[in-house]
């Protein structure tokens, strides 16, 4: 569905955004393993999250509603889907986390997905789950994956790549099979799974490894920081851990909110977003905006369902946006916000360099190439590195006929960019925003005029 886009005179307002996708996925999938019912507030109606809800139903969870809450009642025993298949749609989170649940069950299930999900790598979960004792069969490490569940063996695993999905798949496998699992992270990833297991009274411990001061081996008169371990975080699920029921209140999705923050940054506006998740593993984009020249205020801080949240106001009153260099763990902490960051960089003075973002090549699209092609259509010089981007900003970009590449984050980022371009623009398929935020254009209309 092509959508015409036009420059806007104003980008300001007060809004809310739908519930956090990452938390919603986990609420739906953990309901499969819970000993009691879950009530879930603010569950988003995005296609990805509906895939996780559908997967839970397929395995026997009863899905109802009470007012504005979902009521998820776990089955006494997991049910085999009618045809032995669960369709994960476009959602890699559904496919990877569900792989862990089925691997630790007594079921044999085949996971499938749409044309966008099928090429995405599954071997990163297949390999460790196979080591635990499950049988997983896939062609070239992609969907469809046939999983033969087993009573799994305890597992200790250090993540070779930063991936909250792999970590979560292993923890869910341990829950499903009542075995202990220890996951170690050299790079800290989002921790929604650990928080929700803990909130639902699961026996899980999290240990952060902090660097210590030690004598410098070259000059003993000096000291330097040294990590006593090869990892920064260790998460351990105890054998026999069980989940209780409870109420899960999902905050607004930070990654969706980031597009409206980007609009405020580019358009010298002020945007306030209420009830947004402030999980420390998710908010690096706020630091980027501050460094780029924006004012960021957070009020009404609170924690519900073990997830911090608050009201974020982003404003840019005067002065040019500044370019930044992004790499290493900073890139990992804002990987989903790179499309929003890229459109801000197009309007910043100087050259923005993003490194260590190779993971973006295996999302819904090759996001590095998708971002670069659309920036070039605007008249912005953008080079593609093996693991990142080089963006020369500060010019007056022009309207363009943008491509979504079937990727919701690309469509949202360049729809925001279109508000500040010279001349009209379009996006070839605006419907892809339904994957994460069907309300996107409605919310965009509230902050623009």
Question: Would you please indicate which residues are annotated as catalytic (active-site) residues?
Answer: 336
- Tally of CB atoms within 10 A around 363: 22
Buried b (16+ CB within 10 A) or exposed e, 257-289: bbbbbbbbbbbbbbbbbbbbbbbebbbbbbebb
What is the rounded distance in angstroms from the CA atom of residue 53 to the CA atom of residue 268?
Answer: 39
Q: List, in sequence order, every beta strand (DSSP E) within 42-134.
A: 62-66, 69-73, 85-87, 108-112
Tokens of 202: 């699961």
Residue 340: φ, ψ to 5°:
-65, -40
Beta strand pairing call for 381-385 and 351-354: unpaired
- Tally of CB atoms within 10 A around 423: 11
Tokens of 239: 């054998």
The residues, ordered by sequence, that sit 6+ positions from 445 with a Cβ below 8 Å of its Cβ are none
CB 421 within 8 A of CB 392: no
């Amino acid at each position: 569905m092509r959508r015409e886009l036009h420059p806007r005179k104003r980008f300001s307002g007060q809004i809310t955004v739908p519930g956090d996708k990452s938390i919603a996925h986990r609420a739906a999938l953990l309901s499969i393993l819970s000993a009691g019912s879950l009530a879930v507030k603010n569950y988003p109606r995005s296609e990805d999250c509906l895939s996780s809800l559908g997967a839970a139903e397929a395995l026997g969870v009863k899905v109802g509603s009470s007012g504005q809450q979902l009521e998820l009642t776990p089955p006494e025993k997991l049910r085999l889907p009618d045809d032995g298949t669960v369709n994960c749609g476009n959602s890699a989170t559904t496919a990877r986390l569900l792989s862990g649940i089925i691997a630790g069950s007594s079921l044999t299930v085949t996971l499938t997905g749409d044309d966008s999900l099928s090429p995405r790598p599954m071997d990163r979960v297949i390999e460790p789950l196979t080591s635990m004792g499950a049988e997983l069969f896939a062609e070239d490490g992609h969907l469809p994956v046939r999983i033969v569940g087993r009573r799994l063996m305890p597992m200790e695993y250090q993540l070779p790549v930063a991936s909250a999905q792999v970590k979560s798949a292993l923890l869910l496998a341990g829950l499903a099979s009542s075995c202990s699992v220890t996951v170690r992270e050299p790079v800290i990833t989002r921790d929604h799974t650990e928080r929700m297991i803990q909130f639902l009274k699961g026996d899980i411990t999290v240990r952060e490894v902090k660097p210590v001061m030690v004598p410098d081996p070259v000059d003993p008169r000096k000291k330097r920081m040294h990590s006593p371990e090869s990892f920064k975080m260790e998460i351990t699920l105890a054998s026999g851990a069980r989940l209780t029921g409870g109420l899960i209140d999902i905050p607004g999705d930070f990654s969706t909110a980031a597009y409206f923050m980007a609009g405020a940054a580019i358009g010298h506006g002020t945007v306030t977003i209420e009830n947004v998740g402030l999980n420390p593993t998710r908010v690096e984009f706020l630091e980027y905006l501050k460094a780029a020249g924006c004012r960021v205020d957070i009020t009404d801080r609170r924690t519900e369902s073990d997830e911090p949240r608050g009201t974020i106001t982003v404003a840019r009153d005067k002065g040019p946006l500044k370019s930044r260099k992004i790499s290493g763990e900073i890139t990992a902490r804002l990987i989903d916000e790179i499309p929003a960051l890229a459109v801000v960089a197009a309007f910043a003075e100087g050259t923005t360099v993003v490194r260590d973002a190779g993971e973006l090549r295996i999302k819904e699209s090759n996001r590095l190439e998708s971002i670069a092609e659309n920036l070039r259509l605007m008249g912005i010089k953008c080079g593609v590195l093996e693991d990142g981007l080089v963006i020369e900003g500060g010019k007056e970009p022009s309207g363009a006929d943008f491509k979504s590449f079937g990727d919701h984050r690309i469509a949202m980022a360049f729809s925001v960019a279109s508000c500040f371009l010279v001349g009209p623009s379009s996006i070839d398929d605006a419907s892809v925003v339904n994957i994460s935020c069907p309300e996107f254009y409605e919310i965009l209309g509230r902050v623009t005029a």
